[in-house]
Amino acid sequence: MAIHRNLLDGPDPTLLPEDEQPYRMLAEESASPTQVAADFPSFCLAWAMLADDAYAAGRYVESYAYARTGYHRGLDALRRSGWKGHGPVPWEHRGNRGFLRCLAALARAAGAIKETEEEARCWQFLKDSSAEAYAELKQ
């Protein structure tokens, strides 16, 4: 996978580190997202999965809480990876997908609970971070 530098002299793309164990737990060991989030609380994908499941069941406040947790864990990881508050967070990098999914889940849940300003802000943040993620997740 090639992640290219912004030719307009913007910041380099931020690539979050990947820990294989939580991915393996979800795939091979059939661990639930709840168990993975408990064992690896900084693993955003588990929080995104929990948010998506709660949203699909109509539990919008719960979805919002899960998404917000993953979003804040992701912001912490982005900052530790050198992110300065803006710049690309490529969707094609597997390590970034959990954060980007949490951001989309937060936007969706914010809309469901009538937090329209936060909904708009989160969708714009997603679009600014990764046009590919925005196209994939805003449906």
20: its two tokens: 């294989």
Instruction: Give 38's contacts (C-beta < 8 A, 6+ positions apart).
Output: none
For the entire predicted model, the pTM comes to 0.93
pLDDT for the residue 29: 79
Digit-coded pLDDT (tens) for 91-137: 999 999 999 999 999 999 999 999 999 999 999 999 999 999 999 99
66: its two tokens: 């899960």
Query: Which one has a higher pLDDT value, 5 or 14?
Result: 14
Phi-psi region of 58 (alpha: psi -120 to 50; beta: other; left: phi over 0): left
Mean pLDDT in residue range 53-65: 98
Mean pLDDT score of the chain, rounded to an integer?
94
Mean pLDDT in residue range 66-89: 97
Using 50, 70 and 90 to split pLDDT, how confident is the model at 70? Answer: very high
Digit-coded pLDDT (tens) for 9-28: 789 999 999 999 999 999 98
All structural domains of the chain with their residue ranges:
32-137
